[in-house]
Amino acid sequence: MTATAAPSPTGPATAPSVRQPTSQWAQGPAIPVISVLAALVLGAVFVAISGKNPIEAYAALLLGAFGSPYDISETLVIAVPLTLAGLSVAVAFRTGLFNIGAQGQLLVGALAAGWTGSQFPDLPGVVLLPLTLLSGVLGGAAYGGVAGWLKATRGVNEVITTIMQNYFIVFVMHWLLQDGPMSAPNALGTPASSPIGAGAMLPIIIPNEIVPLSRLHAGILLAVLAVVVFWFLLWRTSLGYELRAVGLGARAAAQAGIDPPRRMVLVMAIAGGFAGLAGMIQVSGLFHRVYDGFSTGFGFDAIAVALLGKNSPVGITLAALLFAAFQRGGTIMQSNASISSHLVDIVEAIVLFVIAAETIVRAIASRRGTPAEAL
Amino acid sequence: MDASAARPFEGGTAQQMKRLLVLAFVSAIVATSCGSLGVLGGPSIKVGLVTDVGGLNDKSFNALANQGRLDAQSQLSVTTSVTESKKQEDYVPNLTTYAQQSYDLVIGVGFLMTNSVWKVAKQFPNVKFAIIDGAPANDKGDTENLPNVANLFFKEQEAGYLVGVIAGLMAKNKVGKATHNTVCSMGGIPIPPVDRYIAGYQDAVKTVNPSATILNGYSNDFVDQAKGKEVGLNHISKNCDILFQVAGGSGLGYIAAAKEKGVYAIGVDADQKDAAPGTVITSALKRVNKAVFDTVKAVKDGKFTAGDNFFSAANDGVGYGTLDPVVPSDIKSAADQALADIKSGKIKPKDTVQVKG
C-alpha cells in the first residue's frame, strides 16, 4: 500500500482525474463487502475448528452489538473515536501520506484537552468546552504537523516518524500522569490526571429514562460534524482539490502550480486534528480525566477503518460502525457464548488481508499494462 | 438492524448473501434463546468476571482470578462467565452488561477498576460486586464503600515476609550461588500492594539476617520487560544474588537478568517456577483464585460481606510457592515456622518499605 500511495517525486506522474469521488464510490463497495463476508466465513471456520458453533458465535456477536438499546448506544460510543481516527488516516491517505500516528495524535489531543479541562475547572461550560475542544484539536494538529514538516523539509518518511511519535507520547504520558505536572494526588490507584471541570464535560444525549445507563455523549454529534467537514474540505474546497491532486500524483500537482511540501504539513496537521478531537472526546465524554494507557488501539484500528471505508466519508462511518460492532459484540460473545473475543481480532485481520490483497492484485494488473482504476 | 452496517452496499450477489446471513442470524437467535431457557430452571447463582486490560493470559492476576472462577463453577455448581477488557473504555460497559443480565455477583479484577465498579454498583444496588485489590472510588478518586461491593484485599506483606525468610537465610548461610550476602527487590510502580510485598520481604531479611545488604528499585512499569532487566542487571552488578520481583510482566525481565547472570530470583503473585527453572527459587503467592472462590461461595451461602475483606496467611490467601531443590530443608522449616507464626499472630510483618533505594 505504502509503495503505491507514497507521493515520492518518482511517483505516478500520470494522475487520474481528481474529479471522481462519485464514480469511485459507486464501484467501491463491492470489495469491502466481499472482504467482510470472506472474513466472517473464515472466522466461522476458526470457530468450528475450536469446537464451537459458528452460527451461535455470530448470533451472540450481533446481539451483543445491537441486541438492546444499551448495546447499540455502547457500539456508538466505540464508533465515535474510531470514525474520527479513521478520518485522520483517510485525509492523509487522500494526499498520498500514510498516517500511522493517529494513536499518538489521539493521546496528545486527550492530554491537551485534559490539561485545559482540569486546569480551569471553574470556568462556565460555554467557555471551557470550546477551549477544551480547541486544545484537543490543536494538540493533535501540532503533533501531526511535526511529522508533515519533517517529511516536507527533510524528506523523512512519515511512516517512521509517526510510529516513533506513537511511542514517544506513550512515555511522555506515563511521566506526565505518574509523577509529572499532570498527575493527580488522588488517582484511583493508577496514574491519572485530576478530573476535568463540569463545564468541560460532554453531556449524555440519551436520557436515562429512554436508555438507562447509556454513556452515549454529545461526542457523536461532533463525529458526525467531522465527517461532514472531511467531505466538504476534500470535495468542496480548492484546498481539498489540491490535497487530492497531490495524493494522486505529487509531480503532476507540482506541475500544476501546487506546492506539495506545504500541503503535506497542512494535511498532517488536519489529520492530527481529527485524531486529537477523538482523544478530547474520550476525555470529555467518557472518563472526565486522563488515565495512563487509555484508548489503546483506536489509532491502529483506524487504519483498517480507513482502508475498509475506501477513504470516503460514508465508507469510513460504516466501517467504524462495523468495527465498533465487532468490538462491542466480541466481548458479549465471550461472556454469553464462551467464544474468545479474539475471534473478532481474527475477523478484523482477515478483512485487512483481503483489502491488502486487492491492492496487490491491482498493482500487478497495472504493471502488466491492464488499465487499473485509481485506488 | 442486524445488517445495518452492510445495508448501503447493495449489489447482486452481496444482497443474496446478506439475505442468507440474516436468515442464519435469525434462526441462530431463536436457537440460542431456546437453549438458554433450560439453564434458567436451576437454583444456582450467576457469576460474571471482568478482567482488566491484562487479559486472561497474563499468567498472573487475571489468570488466577479466572482459575478461581472455573474452580467455583466446577465445585460449587454455579453458572459463571468471563469478559476480557481490551481497553480501559470497556470496564464500565462490561460490568454493566453482567449487572443488566441480573447476575448475582460481578467481579472486577484489579485496582484499575475501582472507579468503574463504583459507577456501576451504585446503579445496581441489588447486584453484588467485588473488586480484587481495590475499594470503590468515586469520581473524585476517594474511596467510597458501597453496601453491595466487597473489597478483596491481600496482606502482601505476609507473602513478602515468607520469601524474605527464605532469601535472608539463603544469603546468610551462603547457599549455592548466594555468596555476597546481598538481597534485592524490584517493584513496578510504588503503589500500596507492591510496597507491602517489599516491606514484608525487607522486614524478614532484617529479622533473620541483620547483616545482609538490602537493595530495592522500581522499573516504573508493569509491562516492559526491558526496563525490568535493566534494573536487574544493575542490581546484580552491585552484588545482588537473590532478586525478588513485584512488577508483573516487567518483573519477568528482572527474572531474566537473574537467569542470564546465574543468580537466584523470586517470583510474585502466581507460582512462577516455570518462568526460569533453576533460577526462580520460590514465589510469593497471592491466591487471587481463592479470593474469587471464597467470594462466590459467600454469595451462594448468603454470607456476602461488603467492604474490606482481607485474604492473609490466616485464611490461606497468601503463601509461598514451589521451592527449588537448591533450598535446603532447614530453610523450608524456617519458612513454615514463619508461616505458622504469622497465622498465630506472633509475627506481624511490617507494611511500609524501609529501604527505598
Nearest-Cα residue of chain A relative to residue B15: A33
B86/A331 Cβ within 8 A: yes
Residue B313 lies in a domain: no
Domain that holds residue B51: 46-154
Question: Chain A residue closest to B113 (CA)?
Answer: A188
Contact in structure between B228 and B276 (CB atoms under 8 Å): no
Both B183 and B325 in a single domain? yes
* Environment class of A170 (CB within 10 Å of its CB; exposed 0-12, middle 13-18, buried 19+): middle
Residues B160-171: what's their mean pLDDT? 97
Q: How confident is the model at residue B251 (pLDDT cuts 50, 70, 90)?
A: very high
CATH number, residue B176:
3.40.50.2300
> Do B204 and B117 belong together in one domain?
no
CB < 8 Å to B5, chain A: 318, 321-322, 325
**Would you say residue B115 lies in a domain?**
yes
Provide CB contacts within 8 A for B273, sequence distance 6+: B267, B280, B282, B283, B321, B322, B324
> Higher-confidence residue: B95 or A12?
B95
Res A348: pLDDT: 86
Residues of B with Cβ-Cβ distance to A308 under 8 angstroms: none
Phi, psi of A312 (to 5 degrees): -105, 150
For residue B8, pLDDT over 90 is answered with: no
Domain boundary among B103, B136, B154: B154
Determine phi and psi for A147, rounding to 5 degrees. Answer: -65, -40
For chain A, domains (ranges, CATH) are 79-323 (1.10.3470)
Q: How many CB pairs under 8 A join A and B?
A: 142
Residue listed under C-alpha cell 470550546: A130
Q: What percent of chain B has pLDDT over 90?
A: 74
How many independent structural domains does chain B possess?
2
Establish if B149 belongs to a structural domain. yes
- B138 & B181 share domain: no
Are A174 and B29 an interchain contact pair (Cβ–Cβ within 8 Å)?
no
Per-residue pLDDT, averaged over B269-278, amounts to 91
Contact B141 A37 (CB under 8 A): no
- Please determine, for residue A10, whether its predicted confidence score (pLDDT) is greater than 60: no
A287 contact residues in B (CB cutoff 8 A): 88
The confidence score (pLDDT) of residue A343 equals 86
- The DSSP secondary-structure symbol of A224 reads H
Higher per-residue pLDDT: B4 or A105: A105
Report how far residue B153's alpha carbon sits from residue A126's, in angstroms, rounded to the nearest whole number: 43
Q: Which pLDDT score, from 0 to 100, does residue B112 have?
A: 84
In 3D, which of A69, A21, A354, A341 has the Cα closest to residue A207? Answer: A69
Residues B239 and B328 in one domain: yes
Same domain, B146 and B272: no
When comparing pLDDT for A141 and A39, which is higher?
A141
Could you tell me if B160 and B253 lie in one domain? Answer: yes
Nearest CA in chain A to B117: A188
In the predicted structure, residue B287 carries a pLDDT above the cut 60:
yes
Which of B9, B53, B88 has the CB atom closest to A32's CB atom? B9
**Whole-number pLDDT of residue A344:** 87
- Whether B269 is covered by a domain: the verdict is yes
Length of chain A: 375
On whether both B205 and B329 belong to a single domain, the answer is yes
Q: How high does pLDDT run on average in chain B?
A: 88
Q: Among B111, B137, B154, which residue terminates a domain? A: B154
Say how far apart CA A264 and CA A147 lie, in whole Å: 9
Give yes or no: residues B119 and B243 share one domain.
Answer: no
A314 vs B2, B8, B98: nearest CB: B8
**pLDDT reading at B164 higher than 80:** yes
Is A255 near chain B, with CB under 8 Å?
Answer: no
Q: Is A25 a residue whose pLDDT tops 80?
A: no
Q: How many CB atoms lie within 10 A of CB A221?
A: 12
pTM here?
Answer: 0.81
Determine the pLDDT at residue A193. Answer: 92
CA distance A18 to A249: 10
CB A115 within 8 A of CB A182: yes
| Residue in A66, A190, A335 nearest the CB of B97 | A335
Higher pLDDT, A39 or A86: A86
In this predicted model, which residue has the larger pLDDT, B216 or A23? B216
Domain membership of residue B40 (yes or no) is no
Whole-angstrom Cα distance, residue B137 to residue B143? 4
CB-based contact B200:B159 (threshold 8 Å) = yes
Phi, psi of A210 (to 5 degrees): -85, -55
* Grid cell digits, residue B112: 484499575
Residue B163 in domain: yes
Which of B9, B88, B192 lies closest to A33 in CB terms? B9
- Given B108, B134, B154, the domain boundary residue is B154
- Mean pLDDT of the B226-252 span: 93
B17 inside domain:
no
For residue B209, report the phi and psi dihedrals to the nearest 5 degrees: -150, 70
Q: Quickly state the pLDDT bin for B22 (edges 50, 70, 90).
A: low
In degrees and rounded to multiples of 5, residue B132 shows phi and psi of -75, 125
Q: What is the mean pLDDT of chain A?
A: 88
User: B84 and A60 in contact by Cβ < 8 A?
Assistant: no
Chain A from 105 to 164: CB within 8 A of any B CB: none
- Chain B CB contacts of A191 under 8 Å are 189
Alpha-carbon torsion, ordered B178, B325, B64, B52, to 10 deg: 30
SS (H, E, C) chain B: CCCCCCCCCCCHHHHHHHHHHHHHHHHHHHHHHHHHHHHHCCCCCEEEEECCCCCCCCCCHHHHHHHHHHHHHHHCCCEEEEECCCCHHHHHHHHHHHHHCCCCEEEEECHHHHHHHHHHHHHCCCCEEEEECCCCECCCCCECCCCCEEEEEECHHHHHHHHHHHHHHHHHCCCCCCCCCEEEEEECCCCHHHHHHHHHHHHHHHHHCCCCEEEEEECCCCCCHHHHHHHHHHHHHCCCCEEEEECHHHHHHHHHHHHHHCCEEEEEECCCHHHCCCCEEEEEEECHHHHHHHHHHHHHCCCCCCEEEEECHHHCCEEECCCCCCCCHHHHHHHHHHHHHHHHCCCCCCCCCCCCC
Are B201 and B239 members of one domain?
Answer: yes
Indicate the DSSP class of residue A369. T
CA distances from A356 to A56, A93, A361, A363, B196 (A): 29, 14, 9, 11, 51
pLDDT at A317 > cutoff 70: yes
Of B288, B58, B15, give the one whose Cα is nearest residue B156.
B288
**A60 to chain B: which residues are within 8 Å by CB?**
32
Ranges A137-151, B8-22, B241-255, B285-299: which has the least confidence:
B8-22
Residue B88, min C-alpha distance to chain A (Å):
5
Task: Give B94's contacts in chain A (Cβ within 8 Å).
Answer: 331, 335
B17 band by pLDDT with thresholds 50, 70 and 90: low
Give the residue ranges of DSSP H helices in chain A. 2-5, 21-27, 30-49, 54-66, 69-94, 102-119, 125-154, 158-178, 219-236, 238-248, 250-255, 260-281, 298-308, 313-337, 342-367
Do B14 and A33 lie within an 8 Å CB cutoff? yes
Mutate to test the interface with B, among A331, A340, A348 (most CBs of B within 10 A): A331
The answer to which of A222-226, B57-61, B144-148, B164-168 has the lowest mean pLDDT is B57-61
Same domain assignment for residues B205 and B267:
yes
* pLDDT score, position A38: 87
Put simply, the answer to whether B140 touches A36 (Cβ < 8 Å) is: no
Q: Residues A7, A95: contact at Cβ < 8 Å?
A: yes
Closest-approach residue (CA) in chain B for A198: B139
Residue A34, chain B, CB below 8 Å: the answer is: yes
Residue B298: inside a domain, yes or no?
no
Residue with cell 451472540: A60
- The percentage of residues in chain A with a pLDDT greater than 70, rounded to a whole number, is 88
Cβ neighbour number for residue A168 with a 10 Å cutoff: 16
Q: Of the given ranges (A136-145, A233-242, B7-16, B145-154), which has the lowest mean pLDDT? A: B7-16
Q: Residue A4: pLDDT above 80?
A: no
CB-nearest partner of B87 from A187, A215, A296:
A296
Residues of chain A found within 8 Å of residue B114, distances taken between Cβ atoms: 188-189
Contact of A270 with A90, CB cutoff 8 Å:
no
Which of A118, A188, A310, A347 is the best residue to mutate to test the B interface, defined by the most B CB atoms within 10 Å of its own CB?
A188
CA-based nearest residue in chain A for residue B137: A188
Nearest CB partner across the interface for A294, out of B48, B89, B100 = B89
Rounded Cα–Cα distance for residues A47 and A63 (Å): 17
Q: CB contact, 8 Å: A317 with chain B?
A: no
Domain co-membership, B95 together with B223: no
Are B147 and B162 within one domain? no
DSSP string, A138-166: HHHHHHHHHHHHHHHHH---HHHHHHHHH
Task: Lay out the sheet containing B182-187: strands in order across.
Answer: B213-218, B182-187, B242-246, B264-269, B280-286, B318-320
pLDDT value at position B249?
82
Contacts 24+ apart (CB under 8 A), B123-129: B123/A212, B123/A213, B123/B96, B123/B99, B124/B99, B124/B100, B124/B148, B127/B98, B127/B99, B127/B102, B127/B103, B128/B104, B128/B299, B128/B304, B129/B95, B129/B105
Kindly calculate the radius of gyration of chain B based on its CA atoms and give it in whole angstroms: 24
Least confident window among B36-50, B75-89, B116-130, B250-264: B36-50
Q: How far is CA B54 from CA A124, B113, B152, in A?
A: 38, 12, 19
Contact B93 A215 (CB under 8 A): yes
A287–chain B Cβ distance below 8 A for any pair: yes
Given pLDDT bands bounded at 50, 70 and 90, which one contains residue A12? very low
| Residue among A30, A66, A336 whose CB faces B81 most closely | A336
Q: Does residue A23 belong to the interface with chain B, where contact is any CB pair within 8 Å? A: no
Q: What is the pLDDT of residues A253-292, one digit of tens each?
A: 999 889 999 999 999 999 999 999 999 999 999 999 999 8
User: CA of A362: how far to CAs of A18, A132, A349, B273, in Å?
Assistant: 19, 44, 20, 53
Look at residue A178 in the predicted model and tell me its pLDDT. Answer: 82
Mean pLDDT, range A328-351, rounded to an integer: 88
Q: Is A204 helix (H, G, I), strand (E, B) or coil?
A: strand
Residues of chain B with Cβ-Cβ distance to A334 below 8 Å are: 81-84
Of A59, A178, A314, the CB nearest to B25: A59
Whether the predicted pLDDT of A360 surpasses 80: no
What mean pLDDT comes out for the span A112-125?
95
Whether residue A78 and residue B9 make contact (CB cut-off 8 A), yes or no, is no
pLDDT band at A11 (very low <50, low <70, confident <90, very high): very low
Q: Rounded to an integer, what distance in angstroms lies between the CA atom of residue B192 and that of residue A142?
A: 38
Contact B93 A328 (CB under 8 A): yes
Query: Residue A358 has what pLDDT?
Result: 75
Which chain B residue is nearest to residue A56, measuring alpha carbons? B28
- A322's grid cell: 462495523
Judged against a pLDDT cut of 50, whether residue B42 lies above it is answered with: no
The pLDDT, as a whole number, for residue B20 is 53
